[in-house]
Amino acid sequence: MTEPSTPALKELFNVDRLHHIASEMTAVYPAFDAKGFLAHATAGLAQLSVMQRMARVSESLHAVIPLDYAQTLDLLHALAPRINSGFVSLFLPHFVAHYGLGDFKRSMAALKYFTTFGSAEFAIRPFLLHDFPRTLAVMQTWSLDDNEHVRRLASEGSRPRLPWSFRLADVQANPELCASILDNLKADPSLYVRKSVANHLNDITKDHPDWVLTLIEGWSLDNPHTAWIARHALRTTPAH
């Protein structure tokens, strides 16, 4: 897993932002130990990368909130719309991925909710590793959701070569596993979703270019949304 080293990006999780999170958490949970949270979250902050800082927020909340997983999720549900940055809100699904693997149904509902504030593409992947068939079945239903953020999560979260994350070996070996998700989204009206589908397909071209060509040949390119996806999916494939 690699991530960019741009200083400005990691400064999204600076001390001021941590104070913002502490303040908003206190607003929804007056008993919140803001002082303990800030001490935990700021320790060695300068040396942490952007994704390490994001994880630190999640870990710091877990360290100071003396409630069980379900109760803490209720608080994070209330916190989510109060966070003033979509990227910063990634700590919410991170919490689910790290502390909710044993509570599948509740965690899936939480990721579906939290993704609408930023993205849960990284957080869904531990669930795919833990229980691939069950998680993929949920993601297939998400690909038909009314919300574009949820539909995008179905495609982006199942990408075989998602940047900043580990590869999904099963999907990399057999792209057919996600074919129904891609088919459901092949003419999506949302550019946000279409970009994800094109990138998912482009990932597959690195290992199975013929599979992608065959899939696209079966689609009607009369629909401009589908044609856009096909063009961008094949952008790195020679002689397409």
Whether 8 maps to a domain, the answer reads no
Whether 206 maps to a domain, the answer reads yes
Measure the CA–CA gap between 84 and 64, rounded to whole angstroms.
22
Full-model pTM: 0.93
Whether 148 maps to a domain, the answer reads yes
Q: At residue 87, does pLDDT exceed 90?
A: yes
Whether 11 maps to a domain, the answer reads no
pLDDT, tens digit, for every residue of 185-196? 999 999 999 999
pLDDT on residue 185: 98
Q: Which of 82, 113, 77, 102 is nearest to 17 (CA)?
A: 82
Measure the CA–CA gap between 174 and 133, rounded to whole angstroms.
14
Tokens of 219: 């689609």
Domain count, the chain: 1
pLDDT, tens digit, for every residue of 26-69? 999 999 999 999 999 999 999 999 999 999 999 999 999 999 99
pLDDT on residue 94: 98
Q: Look over the chain and give the mean of its residue pLDDT values, rounded to a whole number.
A: 95
What's the sign of the alpha-carbon dihedral 25, 30, 33, 35? Answer: positive
The CATH number of whichever domain residue 240 belongs to comes to: 1.25.40.290
Tokens of 115: 């993704």
pLDDT on residue 240: 47
